[in-house]
Structure 1
Amino acid sequence: MRLRRNLHDGLGPGLAGIMMRADILGQLMTANQGAAEEMLLELRREAAAFMTEFRRVLADQSPAELDGKDLDDALRTLGRRMSRATGGTLTITTDVDPAAAAVDRTTQVAAFWIAKEALTNVVKHAKASTCTIRVRVDAGLCLSIVDDGVGGAGLGHQGVGLTSMGSRAAELGGWCEVSDVGPDNGPGVSVTAHLPAAPCPAPRRPAR
């Protein structure tokens, strides 16, 4: 179950990005040769990143975006990559509490995976123009991903992605909810999660 979840969460976004770029490439082949060549280079880079992520998932390693980075940097990197996958039609903004860098790594990894799956759903289903990721620290890590898309897409059944977000939160004693934003607040989907967190352990001082 864990390998299935990691394969889905880790590789799904890469495949989604490759497929979207392939669709855009087909449109550019006759309309804009220069842009088509640039998109082809993007496809090659995305395919190489996909293979790297595939090896990391099989080795049960944490996401590459978190290597040597905190959650804020990792989410910004992810947002830029997912935005490029749409050809720039989706603007993704991040707003991360600096205190998030002080929570334990396990919680940061879980929050990243939830955000990654939520963004994948936005790219694949929402037809959104904007998406905002917010992270706050309040008796744990509070995460929200809200888009302005069509709403409701993918919410009618609990597939691997929605189940994965819930299980990652539940493993830490938290919760994750996915719902339509609602007519009063405009269209879109909101993903909200709360993850109990512990402070990062203080670095051990060498014995004298």
Structure 2
Amino acid sequence: MTSACSTGTCAHYQEMVRLQRNLHDGLGPGLAGIMLRADILAELLTANQSAAQEMLRDLRHEAAAFMTEFRRVLADQSPAELEGRGLAGALRALAARMSRATGETLAITTDLGAEHELDREVDRSVQVAVFWIAKEALTNVVKHAKARNCRIGVRVVDGVLQLSIVDDGIGRVGLSRRGIGLTSMGSRAAELGGWCEVTDGAPGAGVAVTAHLPARDPGLGCHAPHPPTER
């Protein structure tokens, strides 16, 4: 291995990291949603035929969307959910889809402000990063948190986009190790001059994912100041 690759700076290594992250962030949530719905479907087959048929239609739609996302990941394109929607619309659609994947046992609310304001104030590259961070955070809530409620908040203050995702689940005990997903959230924010951290939510319960990113092109020198203390 060359010295550049051993330090993670060669183009081949960086492309491998990019592909690993995109496959995880783009395809992992889709697979998790399909598996979760399959489990619920198995229970409904004997208890509620009508609900089972509706869930099966959703499952087929999810599988088709998964294949579309797979092709977009390979082509290194932005998430399909952002096309024609903008960030606020994409996050609302993501919240609704994740809630349906749990059989509506998880209620996800959004506080995103005016939809067109986000699109006007936030550069596209930042929107893409924020969407991926939110998608990974929600996937962790669905898979690990055992939560009943989750809230997504986005606002822009003094040129900094502030994202928060807070649940009322079992806390960070559900995140026993720092895997690709948590690392990916941090690296996506850092690449744009921002930061992302995972902390305890409400006292005694829940997890809070917080990310701050410059709303405008970081190439112009923008950055989001890191929180003064680590928790």
Query: Could you state the TM-score of these two structures normalised by the residue count of structure 2?
Result: 0.82
Deviations 1:70-123 (A, max 9, x none): 111010010111111000111111111333222110011111110000000000
- Matches of 2:53 and 2:193, distance apart in 1: 48
Matched ranges for 1:131-146 at <5 A: 131-138=150-157, 139-146=159-166
**In the alignment, is residue 61 of structure 1 matched against residue 71 of structure 2?**
no
Corresponding residue to 2:209 among 156, 168, 191: 191
Aligned residues: 197
Corresponding residue to 1:100 among 104, 109, 118: 118
- Matches of 1:62 and 1:16, distance apart in 2: 20
Higher relative contact order (CA closer than 8 Å, sequence separation 6+): 1
Q: 2:154 corresponds to which letter in structure 1?
A: V
Match of 2:54 in 1: 38
Q: 2:151 corresponds to which letter in structure 1?
A: T
Residue 67 (structure 1) shift: 0.2
- Matches of 2:52 and 2:118, distance apart in 1: 40
Residue 171 (structure 1) shift: 0.1
Query: Could you state the TM-score of these two structures normalised by the residue count of structure 1?
Result: 0.91
Deviations 1:151-188 (A, max 9, x none): 114433210000000000000111000012152xx511
Corresponding residue to 2:130 among 105, 111, 121: 111
**In the alignment, is residue 87 of structure 1 matched against residue 103 of structure 2?**
yes
Corresponding residue to 1:149 among 169, 173, 178: 169
Q: Percent identity of the aligned residues?
A: 73
- Matches of 1:62 and 1:153, distance apart in 2: 32
Corresponding residue to 2:147 among 119, 124, 128: 128
- Matches of 2:193 and 2:174, distance apart in 1: 25
Q: 1:88 corresponds to which letter in structure 2?
A: E
Q: 1:112 corresponds to which letter in structure 2?
A: F
**Cα contact 2:34–2:62 (8 A) shared by 1:** yes
- Matches of 2:86 and 2:65, distance apart in 1: 20
Q: 1:143 corresponds to which letter in structure 2?
A: L
Tell me the secondary structure at the aligned position of residue 198 of structure 1. Answer: coil
- Matches of 2:142 and 2:188, distance apart in 1: 21
- Matches of 1:38 and 1:164, distance apart in 2: 34
Match of 2:184 in 1: 164
What's the C-alpha RMSD, in Å, of the aligned pairs? 1.3
Which runs of 5 or more residues in structure 2 are unaligned?
A: 1-16, 218-231
Which runs of 5 or more residues in structure 1 are unaligned?
A: 200-208
